[in-house]
Structure 1
Amino acid sequence: MRKVIVSMNVTLDGFMSASDCGLDWHFKSWNEEMARATAEQLSKADTILLGGVTYRGMAQYWNTNPVNMIRPREDLDFASMLNSYPKVVFTKSMSTVSWNNARIAQRDIGDEITELKRREGKDMIVYGSGKIVTALTKLGLVDEFRMWVHPVVIGCGKPVFKELSGILDLQLLKTEIFSSGVVILFYQVR
């Protein structure tokens, strides 16, 4: 069965973005080493799950012909995968999407993901999308968290696990440390 993997950039104090959805803290520690890891991570999936806010931000930035991008090779590989992979968008505020291979989910999130998990293929990956992560976690549909912890404290913002009640029991699978000080914590949901 396919897995749902959450890949989330977070601050040391547990925020996925600033209160205004700003991510400038995220780009300060970004380097080619991390870009390679991101492309490698995405290559092991074949479907991207996004909320509306994350979809709009990613589509605006990445929805272009990779050949026309002036970026490091790793970013081009990542962009090529992003643009070719199926993308399922969970939103109530949008009625259409224009990014290549994107579609708006037509069913309840639990039904949609349960059906997608049964299909043949590689894993599914969720980028950002705090509301989607919360909904999937509450439904017990997240299999793994890959938390990219950045060495920065912003004091306030949008917390990752704001609306969860109870204990989320996780098992640390491995860690990956980058020269920028960013650490990926790989957790499996027990």
Structure 2
Amino acid sequence: MKTIVYIGTSLDGFIARKDGNIDWLMKFASAEVFKPYEELTKRIDTILMGRNTFNKVLTFPSWPYKKKIHVLSKSLTQIPKKYKDKVTVLSLSPIDALKHLSKNGYSTIYVDGGSLIQSFLKDDLIDELIISKVPVLIGDGISLFGFLDSDLEFKHLKTESFSNGLVMSFYERQKK
């Protein structure tokens, strides 16, 4: 089982404004920047998403995913009817969610959503980080990283820069 985080942050480390708004991030979307995401989607079997991120995705003008979505939530009970065949809710811990997905044939998981990423990092369940830094400071918002009980070391693999000023860094977890 491999878990991968692919996420964008402001220079000051926020993934969204306090209200979940990502307008500042969307300004940097381009075909050039989208290519690494397309490469990622070829590698993954499914997306494991947090409830808040799922709720944000529901506000998008169209459904952006080709892969099955699994929403990890203890409070979400219903999925809109038009997404029933695309989304499954799992009310499990991070490790139990991975066991469930593995048992159902999934081996490479894209983990998405601030709180979900933090809980996976806290349990040392992330194998790769792909983090885009957008050249904007937003001053306050939802932080990508939270408290950890111990250090997690990652090896820097590469950093790509794009014509719009965005930089994307790729890291791999260094297990002890």
SS at match of 1:60: coil
Counterpart of 1:102 in structure 2 is 87
Counterpart of 1:19 in structure 2 is 18
SS at match of 2:164: coil
The unaligned stretches of length 5 or more in structure 2 are: none
Measure how far apart 1:35 and its partner are. Answer: 2.0
Aligned partners of 1:30 and 1:180 also within 8 Å: no
Q: Answer yes or no: is 1:185 the counterpart of 2:169.
A: yes
Letter in 1 for 2:79: V
Runs of 4+ in structure 1 off by over 6 angstroms are none
The unaligned stretches of length 5 or more in structure 1 are: 65-78
> Comparing both structures, which one devotes a greater share of its residues to helix?
1
CA distance in 1, matches of 2:32, 2:23: 19
Letter in 1 for 2:93: D
Q: Answer yes or no: is 1:146 the counterpart of 2:135.
A: no
After superposition, the Cα gap between the structure-2 partners of 1:59 and 1:20, relative to the gap in structure 1 and judged at 3 Å, is closer
Q: Answer yes or no: is 1:32 the counterpart of 2:31.
A: yes
Length-normalised TM-score, structure 2: 0.87
> How many equivalent residue pairs?
171
CA RMSD in angstroms, aligned pairs only:
1.9
Q: Which moved further from structure 2: 159-168 or 118-127?
A: 118-127
State the percentage of identical aligned residues. 28
Aligned partners of 1:9 and 1:26 also within 8 Å: yes
After superposition, the Cα gap between the structure-2 partners of 1:168 and 1:91, relative to the gap in structure 1 and judged at 3 Å, is same
Counterpart of 2:110 in structure 1 is 125
Letter in 1 for 2:17: A
Aligned partners of 2:49 and 2:71 also within 8 Å: yes
After superposition, the Cα gap between the structure-2 partners of 1:169 and 1:116, relative to the gap in structure 1 and judged at 3 Å, is same
CA distance in 2, matches of 1:37, 1:120: 25
CA distance in 2, matches of 1:63, 1:90: 21
Length-normalised TM-score, structure 1: 0.81
